[in-house]
Amino acid sequence: METISIIDSKNHVNEKVKIGVWLTNKRSSGKIAFLQLRDGSAYFQGVVVKNNVSEEVFKIAKEVKQETSMYVTGTIHEDSRSHFGYEIEVEDIEIVGESEDYPITPKEHGTDFLMDHRHLWLRSSRQFAIMKIRNEMIRATYEFFNKEGFMKVDAPILTGSAPEGTTELFHTKYFDRDAYLSQSGQLYEEAGAMAYGKVFSFGPTFRAEKSKTRRHLIEFWMIEPEMAFTHQEESLELQERYIAYLVQNVLDHCDYELNILGRDKDVLKRYTELPYPRISYDEAIKMLQDSGEFPDVEWGADFGSPEETYLAEQFSKPVFVMNYPKAIKPFYMKPHPTRDDVVICADLLAPEGYGEIIGGSERATDTDYLKEQIEKAGLNMKDYEWYLDLRRYGSVPHSGFGLGLERAVTWITGEDHIREAIPFPRLLNRIYP
């Protein structure tokens, strides 16, 4: 008899198998017990019929407590009523680890309570589905960039530079020097691009943001591709192909998980159709003004959630908003060739109210311009000498972008809040567990 995972049940219909599981819920009558089981690969039901098992096994089935771990032995059958499609008719149960009274019962719990028990909450089926989809998106990311000829170049986490501005930095000591936790790997990826052409990083990034919103984490994972000999338009084409690839792979490989979440797959399918619409920042401002809903919005303003949501709602697919005012964007973006006031950049706004999922730009190549911008930003020139070297020695047009993994997971899974898109979220007032 084979020991299998629940997910492999389809290959063992009418066969006797053994599976290591935890109990998530149960109900029983005098003659039959239904055990809801999970093993990390899927969730399914074990049926224990009194007349078919020993008295001892039926007693265990009636009394076993939630989250007890055990081996069940039995025969796999089809079960058309469940998302999963199979169940096990249990013949034997062997307890592995007893469980105390489990805090997360099948009833509703408040968010704070669940967040305090995040280490256990991860076991529930919705969290399982989100983490599986996150994992698929990570897998597809590596596959996509490898297929496209990119090399992964890991950026440091302890740094002396502040690419995205100095207000949201996590300060730390580096022996007797000052250092920061990385806000973005971009500047290092630019060095990578000048060395290896097409590169990407994928790692944790940190923002000491005081904002408590559904979209902000303090620690989040960012995918940052950077491409030499590449202008912004080619970068936008890669961005939309990448997003469509993520969505397509989730559709292809996570049907079960999307069903658990109740995510509308027809809506997701629409996001695989390219190209995505592109509008300029100027047009975006005009749309907001014409809507009548944003009486105070003026050219030069940065967009908050309500503005991004309104703009995205005007389109049925993600939309690129291009060429923002120089004053509200970081120092490294390429200035517009004919306009003083905007830079060559784009944010990709996700539909359904999920806001910005990608920020990217073409990079400035002129050393003097960059020096000026570094000074204006109040940064310390000597921390950026290495970055300026990239312009001094064979500079080329180059572009790149950053995708916030958790923003993309929240959108693709259709969840309300970014805290459920990462195993252990770091939020304004939370570092436990």
Alpha carbons 161 and 205: distance in angstroms, whole number: 13
> Residue 216's binding partner, choosing from ligand 4AD, Mg ion, none, with beta-carbon cut-off 5 to 8 A by kind?
ligand 4AD
Alpha carbons 322 and 326: distance in angstroms, whole number: 12
Nearer to Mg ion, 190 or 257 (CB): 190
Q: Can residue 216 be called a binding residue for ligand 4AD (CB under 6 A)?
A: yes
Q: Can residue 352 be called a binding residue for ligand 4AD (CB under 6 A)?
A: no
Contacts made by residues 369-372, CB under 8 angstroms, sequence distance 24+: 369/335, 370/331, 370/332
CB under 8 Å to 315, separation ≥6 — which residues?
277, 351
Nearer to ligand 4AD, 240 or 406 (CB): 406
Nearer to ligand 4AD, 19 or 346 (CB): 346
Q: Can residue 401 be called a binding residue for ligand 4AD (CB under 6 A)?
A: yes
Nearer to Mg ion, 225 or 359 (CB): 359
Q: 57: number of CA atoms within 13 Å, CB side?
A: 23
CA distances 204 to 93, 102, 247, 329, Å, are 42, 32, 22, 22
Beta strands, E only, 65-112: 69-78, 86-97
Nearer to Mg ion, 359 or 425 (CB): 359
Structure tokens that stand for 412 in this block: 């693709």
The single residue among 164, 240, 308, 415 that binds ligand 4AD, judged by CB under 6 A, is: 164
Nearer to Mg ion, 185 or 359 (CB): 359
Q: Any idea how long the chain is? A: 433
The strand pair at 158-159 and 177-181 is best described as: antiparallel
> Residue 398's binding partner, choosing from ligand 4AD, Mg ion, none, with beta-carbon cut-off 5 to 8 A by kind?
none
Q: Which stretch binds Mg ion (CB under 5 A): 173-181, 338-346, 352-360, 367-375?
A: 352-360
Q: How far is the CB of 280 from ligand 4AD (least distance, A)?
A: 18
Nearer to Mg ion, 87 or 190 (CB): 190
Alpha carbons 190 and 362: distance in angstroms, whole number: 11
Q: Can residue 358 be called a binding residue for ligand 4AD (CB under 6 A)?
A: yes
Q: Which stretch binds ligand 4AD (CB under 6 A): 49-57, 107-115, 301-309, 350-358?
A: 350-358
Contacts with ligand 4AD by CB under 6 A: the residue count is 22
CB under 8 Å to 280, separation ≥6 — which residues?
321, 322, 323
The alpha carbon of residue 210 and the mean position of all alpha carbons in its chain are separated, in whole angstroms, by: 21
Nearer to ligand 4AD, 46 or 359 (CB): 359
Q: Can residue 357 be called a binding residue for ligand 4AD (CB under 6 A)?
A: yes
Angle between helices 125-147 and 405-413 (to 10 degrees): 120
- Which of helix, strand or coil describes residue 279? strand
Give the H/E segment covering residue 399: strand 398-404
Alpha carbons 137 and 405: distance in angstroms, whole number: 8
Q: How far is the CB of 202 from Mg ion (least distance, A)?
A: 17
> Residue 220's binding partner, choosing from ligand 4AD, Mg ion, none, with beta-carbon cut-off 5 to 8 A by kind?
ligand 4AD
Q: Which stretch binds ligand 4AD (CB under 6 A): 96-104, 133-141, 144-152, 352-360?
A: 352-360
Alpha carbons 374 and 363: distance in angstroms, whole number: 13
| Residue nearest to Mg ion according to CB distances in the complex | 359
Q: Which stretch binds ligand 4AD (CB under 6 A): 58-66, 103-111, 212-220, 257-265?
A: 212-220
- The mark string for 359-398 relative to ligand 4AD (x by CB under 6 A, - otherwise) is xx--------------------------------------
Residue 80 contacts residue 121 (beta carbons within 8 Å): no
Nearer to ligand 4AD, 48 or 357 (CB): 357
Q: How far is the CB of 407 from ligand 4AD (least distance, A)?
A: 4
Q: Can residue 359 be called a binding residue for Mg ion (CB under 5 A)?
A: yes
Q: How far is the CB of 156 from ligand 4AD (least distance, A)?
A: 14
CA torsion, ordered 240, 245, 246, 251, to nearest 10 deg: 130
Q: Which residues bind Mg ion (CB under 5 A)?
A: 359
Summarize as ranges the residues that interact with ligand 4AD (CB under 6 A): 163-164, 184, 186, 207, 209, 216-217, 220, 222, 224, 356-360, 400-402, 404, 406-407
